[in-house]
Every structure is written in structure tokens, then in C-alpha cells.
Amino acid sequence: MNPVDWFNNFSDWLTDKVFYSVEIGETSLPLIVVWLVIAGLFFTIWLGFMQVKGPKISVDLVRGKYSKPEDRGEVTHFQALATAVSGTVGLGNIAGVAVAISLGGPGATFWMICAGLLGMATKMAECMLGVKYRNHHEDGSVSGGPMYYLTKGLSEKGLGGLGKVLAVLFSIFMIGGAVGGGNMFQSNQATAQIVAVTGGEGSFLGENGWIIGLIFAILVGAVIIGGIKSIARVTEKVVPFMAVLYLTACIIVLLWNITSLPAAIGEIFAGAFTGEGIAGGVVGALIVGFQRAAFSNEAGLGSASVAHSAVKTEEPATEGFVAMLEPFIDTVVICTMTALTIIITGVWDDPDVAELGGVDLTSRSFETVLPWFPVVLAVAVVLFAFSTMLSWSYYGMKATGYMFGDSTLAENVFKVIFLIFTVIGSAAALEKVINFSDSAIFLMSIPNIIGLYILARVIRKEINGYYDRVQSGEIKYAEEKV
Amino acid sequence: METVVVGVDNSDTSTHAVEFAVDRAQKNDWKVCLVHVIPWTPYSFQTPMENEHRHEQKEHEIKAAHDQIMVPMAEIAEQGGVPHEEVIIHGKPSDTMLDLAKERHAVHLIVGRIGDSGLREAIFGSVASRLVQHAEIPVTVVP
């Protein structure tokens, strides 16, 4: 059995277990999606609709209005947010949205936006905990994330044993998520787009996609094994510009079709509540919307908590407020732009949309306006994929480090496995890759959200306490001091 | 006692600036505030690995600036027998020096004409010219 066949079988088996579904009418409802939605709803209510009340505080924090002068030179809220966002914004925003619309119709967009708004509360909770329970090492570096708050937070509640079990489970799942959604899915869809702009299916690269995967693996390997940090640094600096370029391209497509914009928005609302012409109707659109939104913004999965916990702050709540902006940027802004582009150009209604799926669909919608736009998309996709792969390899390494006491051998084994899957991802079929990626990533939400519920009181005390102190004027803008 | 703020870095003109400042300080009975600003912005894009180790990196930058820049510059003030203060801080060099001058109620700002970041200055203009444009107190640029 070659590695791709082996992977396909494993993917089928895992998907079957993780996406255990109950039948509602003609639609099957995966319980794991319900699990994420309920968490979003719970924390929205539990924290008193902080995503409505809190954005001003979030923006002030990002702008450094509360930053102390003595913290100059440390990791700022802006930097922590930017790093986390660059790990989150990836092919989920481009290809994942296309998958959602090809399966769930325009209405899926509405539910994606809802999921993004609910996800703000979950993200806030998990990133606050990441800072509160992070480890400070002797050299001044910090490690945070669900594995630490599950261990330390639950032990404070007298549930140390359970905390350890959940932390180890989380670490295993995060390694899976790193290999799947953070790696294979990225390399799969980046390969698809490169093939599309270099001659399509029948071309040399079309037949030998693994070559592109191998190049990705070599570049990622140069950073994570070879320690060539300059590649990572350059990527981090270029990605924000690519994001702007991508959004600009979307806006051009929208302006080109501006007269159809009201109709496109109408289709989103109509599809969301009538589910016409979609397998599974409204529920189908809802499930696929929530699922793809969660995959894209990672709220409830705990991954971003690792990146956010590096911030310099004495108030864990501050990073909660800042992290809340992440699902907003990722889902409410970027995913919605992709969705509108696909809907307004009408490509989602093409007869071959089911086989197309993913990034090819987004690319086609770009092509309707300017024939060379897919090349711009290819450049953006490759950079997004690469930066997301670097971020997730880091998450995977932190999980490995947690489980094996920062053993260099274990981390190196992880790195090699990660790179092998980069290549497999480029050669495997989208359906299998996306199923495996979803399974691995969604598994993270099980131990993570159990932890969030157990620590719900701690979360509310920190977040609402901070909010109250800002409102009462006890916490003021920092004075400009040198 | 009034204060003169002197921007210092790794360049030769910085040495000239400090010598000039010490000379003026002796004559005017000024205190010399030596400041080195490590270029830094709160709005940069960084890798997760860089963020994790940022604190160590910051300490390392401050120590290097102290040993390589501040010690030799302070030595000049020491020899000139004028009271002096040493400040090493992260930020945008021109803005940070202006803020510091304001906070210390400085009467004068002194900098070298050419700093140690050649290419960046060639593109974005030098710290000296920014100070001249924006300062509310006299600025002396030393060649």
C-alpha cells in the first residue's frame, strides 16, 4: 500500500469516528459541530455579550493605549495578535469558504458569519486562560496554551488528574491538527492552485503534484530543521501585504459586479433561511457554514492560545479582549469577502462545482474578471499556506515539547513526520485531506472546551472584572513616559 | 541644573557629538543625558518563535548597547567631569529622543550628523533631520 492509499483509509476511519452524526429529518448533524456552537453560545451569554461590549477595549489595547512605558521592546498586543492571525488566516479562508458554498450554497455564508461572531467569545476565553496559566522559564521565555491551563487550572479546582489527562489528549490532537489542517490541507490546496495556473490537470505538475509538496517540505524544513529563520521572518512580513492584496482583489471583483451586490446579499439571507436547492436545506447550510468557520478561525480549538500567550501583560484579560478580534478579522471580514466574490460572480452555481470544490472555485470566480487574477491568487495562496504551515509546525512542536519534556529527539521526530505529511498532502485527493484535517482539528476542541467549562468561573472573573475596572475608570490609558 | 540630551550610537560622529556636548556642559553647567534608542516598533510582524524569546532578546539588546555604546560614551563624559545620566530604551529613535527631551525639560538636543544605519537613513531620512524638523528646543547637529 503506498502512503497516499494508507492515508486515505486512515482518513475515512477517523472521519467516521469524529463526525459521528445524528439524523434530523434528511440531514445528518455531526455532534462535534453542535459541541462548538454550544460553546460559542454559552460563552457569549456567560460573559454578557462581550463581543458587543468589548471591541473598543480590544482596539485600544491593540493600539497600545494601555501599554506601560517600561514594556517597550517586549511583545505587544498588536504583535501577539498579528502572529496569531497569520497562523489562522490560511487556505481555510480561501478554499474552505469555497467548499462551504459549494456544499451549502450562499446561505452558508450567513451561518459562517454567525459562527465567527460566536467564536469571538470562545476565543476570548481560551486566550485569556493561555496567558493566565502560562509558564515562565528561567531564560525569560514563556510557554502557554491549553496544555498548561488544563494542567494548572484544573489542578486549582482539585481536578489535577483529569487536567493532566485532558492536557495530554489535547497535545496529541494538536499534533494531529498541525499535521492535518495546519499542514496537509495547506499544501494540498496550494498545490491545486499552482497546478491550475501552470497548465491544469493534464500538465506535468498536474500529474506530479508531489513535486510541489516536496518543495514546500524543503522550504519548511529549512526553517524548522535547518534553523534558517530569515525565511520565516520574511514570510511573516510579506503575509500581511498579501492579505491586503487578496482583499483588494476581492474588492475589485465585487466592484466589477457592483450591480449584482444586492442580489448576492439577498441570496445569502434567502439561502440561510430557506435552504432552497441545497442538500439538507437550512440545516445543511448551517452545519457546513459553522464547520468551515470553525476550521478557519479555530475558535474553541485552543491553538491560537499558544500564539497569544507570548504577549507582555500583567492582566490576562487584556489578551482575551485582543484575541476576540481574531475571529472577526478571519471570518467576519476575510471569509465573507471570499464568499461574496464566489456568489457575486455566480460561479457557485456552475454545474461542475461539486468536483471543483476548494481553491479552484475561488480561482474561477477571480478569473471571470481578469484572466490573470488566478496568478495573484496563487501567490497569495502559497504565502498563506506557507505561513500557516510554519505557525502550526510551531504549535505541534510546543505540544510535543509539553508531552516529552522538551526532548530534542521527540521534537525532531515530529518535524520529520510533519514534512512527510506536507508531501502526502500535495498528492492526496481534496476530500480525504479535508476530512482528515477536520477530524484532527475538531478533536482538539473536546479536551479544550471541557477545560473551558470547568474554568468558566475563572474566565468570567478575569474578563468581566477587567471590563468593570475599565468602565469605572480604575484602569486608565497609560501615560506617555520615556 | 539644566539638561542637554545627546543621542548616541555606534558611529564616529556620535563620539564627536558627545565630546561637543561635554564641552558645552562644562561651560554652561549642564547635566548630560546620554540616550541610545534601540530601533523598535510595537506594530511589527513576528514569528511565534521570535515572540516566545522576545524578552531574552530585549535583555540581550540592552546589554549589547550598554557594553558597546554606552560605556565608551559615558567614559567621555566621565573624563570631562560633567554629571551624566545614561538611558537605553526601545522605540523610534527621533520620536523617543524628543519625548525624552520634553520629559527631562532639556534645554538642548545634540546628535551626530550621520548615524550607524546607513541604508535606512538614505531611504527614510536621518534621525538628525527629523529632530531638526520637529524639536521644540535648539538642536545641534555635529559633523
Take residue A349 and report the three cell numbers written for it: 452555481
Question: What is the predicted pLDDT for the residue at A396?
Answer: 95
A positions 50-79 inside 8 Å of B (CB): 64, 67, 72-76, 78-79
Q: In the structure, how many helices (H) and strands (E) does chain A have?
A: 27, 4
**Burial tier of A139 (Cβ tally within 10 Å: 0-12, 13-18, 19+):** exposed
DSSP assignments along A48-105, one per residue: TSHHHHSHHHHHHHHTTTT--GGGTTS--HHHHHHHHHHHHSSHIIIIIHHHHHHHH-
Domains and CATH numbers, chain A: 27-471 (1.20.1740.10)
Q: Spell out which residues of chain B touch residue A233, defining contact as CB-CB under 8 Å.
A: 46-47, 50
Mean pLDDT by 10 residues, chain A (482 residues): 80 87 78 92 97 96 92 94 91 91 91 96 97 91 94 96 96 93 91 88 82 94 88 87 92 95 94 75 86 91 95 96 96 96 91 80 91 89 92 94 89 94 88 83 95 98 97 86 59
Tell me the shortest Cα–Cα distance from A103 to chain B, in angstroms: 34
Beta-carbon separation of B51 and A240 below 8 A:
no
Take residue B136 and report the three cell numbers written for it: 521644540
Share of chain B above pLDDT 90, in %: 74
Question: What is the predicted pLDDT for the residue at A17?
Answer: 87
Cα gap A300→A135, rounded to integer Å? 21
Spatial contact of A90 and A304, defined as CB atoms under 8 Å apart: no
Quick check: A240 contacting B, CB < 8 Å?
A: yes
Question: What is the predicted pLDDT for the residue at A231?
Answer: 87
B127 to each of A225, A434, B96, B100, B122, how far by Cα in Å? Answer: 39, 52, 11, 15, 11
Quick check: B132 contacting A, CB < 8 Å?
A: no
Q: What is the ipTM of this complex?
A: 0.89
Question: What is the predicted pLDDT for the residue at A24?
Answer: 74
Mean pLDDT, rounded, for B98-124: 81
Q: Spell out which residues of chain B touch residue A81, defining contact as CB-CB under 8 Å.
A: none
Secondary structure string (H, E, C) spanning A195-257: HHHCCCCCCHHHHCCHHHHHHHHHHHHHHHCCCCHHHHHHHHHHHHHHHHHHHHHHHHHHHHC
Instruction: Name the pLDDT band for B11 (thresholds 50, 70, 90).
Output: confident
Question: What is the predicted pLDDT for the residue at A177?
Answer: 93
Q: Spell out which residues of chain A touch residue B55, defining contact as CB-CB under 8 Å.
A: 74-75, 140-142, 312
Question: Mapping DSSP to helix (H, G, I), strand (E, B) and coil, where does residue B112 land?
Answer: strand
Q: Spell out which residues of chain B touch residue A80, defining contact as CB-CB under 8 Å.
A: 51
Spatial contact of A347 and A365, defined as CB atoms under 8 Å apart: yes
Domain residue limits at B102 = 2-142
Q: Is A303 left (phi over 0), alpha (psi -120 to 50) or beta?
A: alpha
Tell me the shortest Cα–Cα distance from A482 to chain B, in angstroms: 6
Spatial contact of B36 and B87, defined as CB atoms under 8 Å apart: yes
A-B CB pairs within 8 A amount to 93
- The number of domains in chain B is 1
Would you say residue B123 has pLDDT above 70?
no
In this structure, the dihedral spanned by the alpha carbons of residues A81, A87, A89 and A90, taken in order and rounded to 10 degrees, is: 170
In this structure, the dihedral spanned by the alpha carbons of residues A236, A241, A244 and A246, taken in order and rounded to 10 degrees, is: -80
CATH number for the domain that contains residue B9: 3.40.50.620
Q: Spell out which residues of chain B touch residue A72, defining contact as CB-CB under 8 Å.
A: 40, 42, 89-91
